[in-house]
C-alpha cells in the first residue's frame, strides 16, 4: 500500500489545482485521472467548442461581408478537417501544458487509471492500493443518453464525439434545446448544414425568462434553424440516406443526430458505498457549504457535487477548498453568486436571479430593459440582435440579477457581476464614467431606467 498526504481523483478544473497547492505546502499528493488531464473543459467542453464557435463565426462574417462593403468573390467554403484540427490543437496545447506542469512538481504523482474506494481512506487503481487521510473527488460528468425509441439502432453523436467530426453533416438534428445543443445548432448551421432543434419543453433555454428564451429562438430562426418545442414523443429509425427522426408533430430526414439532453455525474463506478459517501437520486455527491461530504476526510469538487456545472464554478470549488484547508479561511459555496454564459452569437451573459425568481422571492423589485438596437456600439458593428435586462431590489437598491443577450454580452455582464459581488448599489454605478463607444457604457443608462413592477 502506497501512502500519500492527499489523493485527488479526477483531473478537471478543481482537483489538479488543489493538488498543486498542496504540493507547494510540502505534501505528497497522488492525482488519479481515468483519461485526460484538464477534464471536460479542456478536452470536450469550453476550449474545443469555443474554438469551433470562432470558426463558425468567421464563416458567418465572411458570408455577410458585403453588408460592410467587403466583397468576397465565390462561395465561402468550409474545410471541416482544418476546423477540427484547429480545435484539437487548442485542446492538446492545454492538455500538454498541464502534463508538463505536473511533471515538474516534486511530490506530485500522476496516475492514469480508474480509481475505486476500498474504504474511506483507501482507493485502488491499476491493481495498486493507495491510502491518504484526505481524498478529493473531482470526477466530472458525462452526457445523458435518454431511453428514446430506436436510439440504440442509430449512430448518434454526443457533445464529446461531435467535436471530432471532420465532415459536414447534411442535416443535423439536435435533441435538446438547452445551452450545449443550441451552441452546436448555430455552429453547424453556420458551417453550412441544415439544422433542426427538437426540445421537449415549451421554450428553448428553459432556465431563462420567457423574453430571453423567445429572443434566443428569434436569433436562431433568423439564421434558418428549424425549431420544434413542446415535443412529447421522439423516435429514431435508420433510413436509406441517414436517420429518420419522428416526433408527434414532424418527421425529419437527418444525416446526423446530436443528443444534448443533459449530463450526469461520473459517480456510479467510484465505489462510494465502500466509503460510505452519500449521493442523491441523480448521483450527485452530497456536500456541505464547504464541499465536505458526510464522511470525514472526503470532499467533492466540480460537476459531481451538483453545485454548478461550469468550469468557473469548479475552479471556485478549488479556491474554496484551498482557502479553507490551507489558508485558514472560512469560505462557503453559498456565498457564490452564480454567473454563466450561452455562447451562441450574439452571446448571453447571465448573473444572479431571473425576473421569475425575483418575483417569486416576494421582494419589491425594479426592472429595466434596453434593446441592443439602442446601443451605439452595436449599431456601429451592425449587430443589434438581443437586449439588456437588469433586475434590482427596490428597497435595498442592490442588483439581483441581469441578462445581456447581445454583442459581447458574455464580457459586458462582468461589470454587473463585479458590482454584485462587491455589494454595490445600483445608484452608485450610475455615477461611473464608462468608455465610449462600448456596449458596457450603457450599463449606467439601463440602471437609470429601472422602474418598479
| Backbone φ and ψ of 354, nearest 5° | -80, 170
In the chain, count of helices (H) and strands (E)? Answer: 13, 24
Q: 257 - beta bridge partners?
A: 173
DSSP characters over 34-97: SS-TTHHHHHTSHHHHHHHHHHHHHHHHHHTGGGGT----S-----HHHHHHHHHHHHHHHHHH
Please choose, from the candidates 219, 225, 226, 222, the residue with its C-alpha nearest in 3D space to the C-alpha of residue 386. 219
Task: Decide the pairing of beta strands 108-112 and 298-300.
Answer: unpaired
H/E segment holding residue 143: strand 141-143
For residues 276 and 282, what is the distance between their CA atoms, to the nearest angstrom?
A: 17
164 as an active site residue: the answer is no
3-state secondary structure of 210: helix
Report the 10 Å Cβ neighbour count for 310. Answer: 19
Q: Active-site residue among 164, 200, 228, 436?
A: 436
| Backbone φ and ψ of 349, nearest 5° | -105, 130
3-state secondary structure of 177: coil
Q: How far is CA 112 from the centre of its chain?
A: 25
Please choose, from the candidates 141, 40, 158, 20, the residue with its C-alpha nearest in 3D space to the C-alpha of residue 95. 40
Please choose, from the candidates 410, 406, 344, the residue with its C-alpha nearest in 3D space to the C-alpha of residue 381. 406
Q: Which residues are catalytic?
A: 436
Amino acid at each position: 500500500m502506497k501512502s500519500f498526504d492527499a489523493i485527488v481523483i479526477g483531473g478537471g478544473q478543481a482537483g489538479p489545482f488543489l493538488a498543486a497547492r498542496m504540493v507547494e505546502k510540502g505534501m505528497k499528493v497522488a492525482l488519479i485521472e481515468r483519461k485526460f488531464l484538464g477534464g471536460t473543459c479542456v478536452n470536450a467542453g469550453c476550449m474545443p467548442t469555443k474554438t469551433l464557435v470562432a470558426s463558425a463565426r468567421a464563416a458567418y462574417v465572411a458570408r455577410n461581408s458585403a453588408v460592410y462593403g467587403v466583397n468576397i468573390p465565390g462561395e465561402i467554403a468550409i474545410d471541416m478537417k482544418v476546423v477540427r484540427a484547429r480545435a484539437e490543437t487548442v485542446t492538446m496545447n492545454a492538455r500538454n501544458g498541464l502534463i508538463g506542469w505536473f511533471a515538474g512538481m516534486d511530490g506530485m504523482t500522476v496516475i492514469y487509471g480508474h480509481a475505486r474506494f476500498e474504504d474511506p481512506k483507501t482507493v485502488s487503481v491499476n491493481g495498486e492500493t493507495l491510502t491518504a487521510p484526505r481524498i478529493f473527488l473531482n470526477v466530472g460528468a458525462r452526457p445523458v443518453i435518454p431511453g428514446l425509441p430506436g436510439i440504440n439502432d442509430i449512430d448518434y453523436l454526443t457533445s464529446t464525439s461531435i467535436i471530432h467530426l471532420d465532415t459536414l453533416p447534411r442535416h443535423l438534428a439536435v435533441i435538446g434545446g438547452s445551452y450545449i445543443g443550441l451552441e452546436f445548432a448555430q455552429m453547424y448551421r453556420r458551417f453550412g448544414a441544415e439544422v433542426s432543434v427538437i426540445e421537449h419543453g415549451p421554450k428553448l433555454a428553459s432556465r431563462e425568462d420567457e423574453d430571453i428564451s423567445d429572443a434566443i429562438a428569434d436569433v436562431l430562426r433568423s439564421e434558418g434553424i428549424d425549431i420544434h418545442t413542446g415535443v412529447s414523443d421522439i423516435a429514431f429509425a435508420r433510413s436509406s440516406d441517414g436517420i429518420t427522426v419522428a416526433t408527434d408533430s414532424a418527421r425529419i430526414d437527418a444525416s446526423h443526430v446530436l443528443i444534448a439532453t443533459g449530463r450526469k455525474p461520473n459517480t456510479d463506478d467510484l465505489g462510494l458505498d465502500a466509503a460510505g459517501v452519500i449521493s442523491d437520486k441523480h448521483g450527485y455527491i452530497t456536500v456541505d457549504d464547504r464541499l465536505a461530504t458526510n464522511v470525514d476526510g472526503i470532499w467533492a469538487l466540480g460537476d459531481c457535487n451538483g453545485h454548478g456545472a461550469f468550469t468557473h464554478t469548479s475552479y471556485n470549488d478549488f479556491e474554496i477548498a484551498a482557502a479553507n484547508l490551507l489558508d485558514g479561511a472560512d469560505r462557503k459555496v453559498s456565498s457564490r453568486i452564480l454567473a454563466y454564459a450561452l455562447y451562441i452569437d450574439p452571446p448571453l451573459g447571465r448573473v444572479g436571479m431571473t425576473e421569475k425568481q425575483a418575483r417569486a422571492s416576494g421582494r419589491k423589485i425594479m426592472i429595466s430593459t434596453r434593446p441592443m438596437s439602442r446601443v451605439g456600439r452595436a449599431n456601429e458593428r451592425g449587430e443589434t440582435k438581443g437586449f439588456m435586462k437588469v433586475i434590482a431590489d427596490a428597497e435595498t437598491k442592490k442588483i439581483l440579477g441581469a441578462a445581456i443577450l447581445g454583442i459581447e454580452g458574455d464580457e459586458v455582464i462582468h461589470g454587473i457581476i463585479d458590482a454584485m459581488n462587491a455589494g454595490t448599489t445600483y445608484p452608485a454605478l450610475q455615477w461611473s464614467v464608462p468608455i465610449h463607444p462600448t456596449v458596457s457604457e450603457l450599463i449606467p443608462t439601463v440602471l437609470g431606467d429601472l422602474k418598479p413592477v
